[in-house]
């Protein structure tokens, strides 16, 4: 009697397990498919969240008097130490052989996009204000999109046929949405930079703010007129270098697809370059000392989570969806930084920052919607071969940048 009851219970459990297995077998592919389509978006969002934490910690470290060049050197060293073992374990045997030409390209890419960009941006933050620095970062989608169109790079498809890395067809709704998104992005940047409005006080915040004798650097009002102009110029140059780095990175990743090794070489190269820059600019031995303090926390976080993890994830997003897809999500970095500065650092926020952030979010979804529609159209029709584009270019007049029928791509 007892054995019969136990056997019946086991049968019911087995039936339930079979039903659950059938349900999972039916639904799991759909879930995986949906998650797979959202993976680049989620990864790019994670990259910008890590970058937002970098801005907050870096700002606090600079307020404590830490040298920007020494900070960049230490974070690149931490990133290199973190990444090299992973590159040896996961890609040591399968990595593509590194030629001298490819190494030189990666070395120069690190000089442009990491060493030069981070040092210029750090100095510019001292000469100007944090709000202006956060606002100018959002120029990167505009500059990246312009570079991606003007440079006319090739994106090799699975069938070997090249097409334009980025194209704008102004006669279609997706093309209009992309152009409108870029224009709204510019409007948001202008609003952030030139309109302040009334101050909005948060209901509560933790007010965690390290202080030092150099807090006046964080305020743009303490800078002279010449330093303010120089800081604005350095911010613009750093954004141009960063945008060009995003575009050129996509080109090099096609010839050297080992992303962890690629990122490790960039980190190692930039560490050597940053050491030379720091030795030349910083002679105070106290600036090179790291104790168990907030400086060490900022260096470890930026080195491991940003230089190590975020750069690899960024390389994956660029190789998967292109540089503009990653750069156009930069407004999310601004929104998270504003929230963190208000609730963690206790900084005030004004109406202009809120309005500018809203415009930047609108521009983000406008460009992403246009890119998704164009991608679905490309999947249905496919990219045109170079010869077909050449034949069509003889029949349709083109504009130099925003052309409805792009000319054949030119490799860098």
List Cα–Cα distances, 396 to 117, 174, 381, 391, 393, in angstroms. 40, 20, 19, 9, 5
CA–CA gap between residue 184 and residue 361 (Å, rounded): 9
Residue 118 located in a structural domain: yes
Indicate whether 69 pLDDT > 50: yes
DSSP 320: H
Q: Find the mean pLDDT for residues 221-236.
A: 69
Q: Find the mean pLDDT for residues 113-133.
A: 81
CA–CA gap between residue 299 and residue 58 (Å, rounded): 8
**What is the model's pLDDT at position 379?**
72
Residue 378 located in a structural domain: no
Per mean pLDDT, which of 108-112, 231-235, 330-334 is the most reliable?
108-112
**3-state class (DSSP) for residue 247:** helix
The number of distinct structural domains making up the chain is: 1
List Cα–Cα distances, 204 to 1, 162, 335, 386, 387, in angstroms. 66, 54, 18, 59, 62
Per mean pLDDT, which of 7-21, 93-107, 187-201, 263-277 is the most reliable?
263-277
How many Cβ atoms are within 10 Å of 282's Cβ, its own excluded?
17
Residue 183 located in a structural domain: no
**What is the model's pLDDT at position 25?**
40
Residue 383 located in a structural domain: no
Q: Find the mean pLDDT for residues 66-88.
A: 90
Residue 20 located in a structural domain: no
Residue 120 located in a structural domain: yes
Tens digit of each residue's pLDDT (9 = 90 or more) over 235-259: 888 988 988 888 888 788 888 888 8
Return the higher-pLDDT residue of 63 and 162.
63
Dihedral sign for Cα atoms in the order 260, 264, 270, 275: positive
Q: Find the mean pLDDT for residues 382-396.
A: 46
For residue 155, list its beta bridge partners.
163
**What is the model's pLDDT at position 21?**
44
Q: How would you classify the pairing of strands 154-156 and 162-164?
A: antiparallel
For tokens 């040298």, name the residue: 67
Specify whether the CB–CB gap between 354 and 273 falls below 8 A. Answer: no
Specify whether the CB–CB gap between 168 and 178 falls below 8 A. Answer: yes
CA–CA gap between residue 191 and residue 186 (Å, rounded): 9
CA–CA gap between residue 402 and residue 240 (Å, rounded): 20
Mean pLDDT lowest among 102-106, 259-263, 331-335: 331-335
Q: pLDDT category, 139, cuts 50, 70, 90?
A: confident
The closest of 217, 246, 61 to 133, measured between CA atoms, is 217
Specify whether the CB–CB gap between 322 and 248 falls below 8 A. Answer: no
CA–CA gap between residue 73 and residue 92 (Å, rounded): 26
CA–CA gap between residue 326 and residue 253 (Å, rounded): 15
**What is the model's pLDDT at position 26?**
45
**What is the model's pLDDT at position 316?**
86
**What is the model's pLDDT at position 168?**
64
List helix spans (H) across 207-329: 225-255, 259-281, 294-301, 311-321, 323-327
Q: pLDDT category, 386, cuts 50, 70, 90?
A: very low
Residue 116 located in a structural domain: yes
Specify whether the CB–CB gap between 60 and 218 falls below 8 A. Answer: no
CA–CA gap between residue 78 and residue 365 (Å, rounded): 35
Tens digit of each residue's pLDDT (9 = 90 or more) over 348-374: 777 877 787 788 778 877 877 887 787
Tens digit of each residue's pLDDT (9 = 90 or more) over 309-329: 887 788 788 778 877 777 777
Q: pLDDT category, 119, cuts 50, 70, 90?
A: very high
Q: pLDDT category, 159, cuts 50, 70, 90?
A: very low
Residue 356 located in a structural domain: no
**What is the model's pLDDT at position 58?**
82
| Phi, psi dihedrals of residue 162, rounded to the nearest 5° | -85, 150
Side-chain-side CA neighbours of 239 within 13 Å: the count stands at 25
Residues of the domain holding 313: 40-157+204-350
Q: Classify each residue of 227-243 as buried b or exposed e, where b means 16 or more C-beta atoms within 10 Å of its C-beta.
A: ebebbbebbeebbbbbb
Q: Find the mean pLDDT for residues 370-391.
A: 63
**What is the model's pLDDT at position 219?**
44
Question: Percent of the chain, pLDDT > 90?
Answer: 13
Indicate whether 404 pLDDT > 60: no
Return the higher-pLDDT residue of 258 and 115.
115
């Amino acid at each position: 009697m007892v054995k019969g009851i136990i056997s019946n219970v086991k049968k019911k459990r087995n039936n339930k397990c079979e039903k659950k297995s059938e349900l999972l077998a039916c639904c799991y592919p759909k879930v995986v498919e949906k998650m797979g389509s959202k993976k680049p978006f989620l990864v790019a969002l994670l990259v910008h969240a890590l970058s937002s934490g970098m801005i907050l910690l870096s700002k606090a470290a600079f307020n404590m008097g830490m040298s920007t060049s020494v900070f960049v050197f230490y974070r690149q060293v931490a990133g290199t130490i973190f990444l090299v073992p992973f590159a040896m374990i996961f890609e040591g045997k399968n990595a593509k052989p590194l030629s001298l030409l490819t190494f030189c390209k990666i070395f120069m890419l690190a000089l442009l996009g990491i060493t030069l960009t981070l040092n210029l941006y750090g100095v510019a933050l001292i000469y100007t204000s944090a709000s202006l620095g956060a606002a100018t970062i959002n120029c990167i989608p505009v500059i990246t999109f312009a570079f991606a169109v003007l440079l006319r790079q090739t994106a090799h498809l699975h069938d070997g046929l090249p097409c334009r890395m980025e194209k704008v067809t102004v006669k279609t709704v997706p093309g209009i949405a992309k152009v409108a998104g870029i224009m709204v992005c510019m409007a948001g940047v202008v609003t952030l930079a030139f309109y302040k409005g009334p101050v909005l006080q948060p209901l509560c915040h933790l007010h965690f703010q390290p202080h030092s004798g150099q807090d006046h650097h964080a305020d743009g009002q303490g800078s002279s007129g010449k330093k303010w102009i120089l800081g604005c110029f350095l911010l613009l140059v750093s954004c141009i270098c960063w945008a060009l780095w995003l575009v050129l990175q996509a080109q090099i990743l096609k010839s050297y697809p080992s992303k962890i090794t690629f990122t490790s070489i960039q980190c190692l190269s930039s560490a050597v370059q940053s050491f030379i820059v720091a030795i030349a600019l910083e002679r105070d031995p106290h600036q090179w000392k790291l104790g168990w303090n907030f400086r060490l926390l900022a260096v470890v976080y930026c080195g491991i989570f940003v230089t190590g993890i975020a750069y690899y994830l960024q390389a994956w997003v660029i190789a998967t969806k292109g540089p503009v897809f990653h750069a156009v999500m930069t407004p999310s970095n601004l929104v998270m930084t504003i929230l963190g500065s208000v609730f963690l650092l206790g900084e005030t926020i004004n109406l202009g920052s809120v309005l500018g952030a809203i415009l930047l979010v609108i521009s983000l979804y406008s460009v992403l919607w246009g890119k998704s529609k164009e991608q679905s159209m490309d999947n249905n029709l496919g990219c045109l071969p170079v010869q077909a584009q050449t034949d069509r270019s003889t029949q349709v007049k083109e504009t130099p940048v925003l052309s409805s029928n792009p000319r054949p791509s030119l490799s860098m």
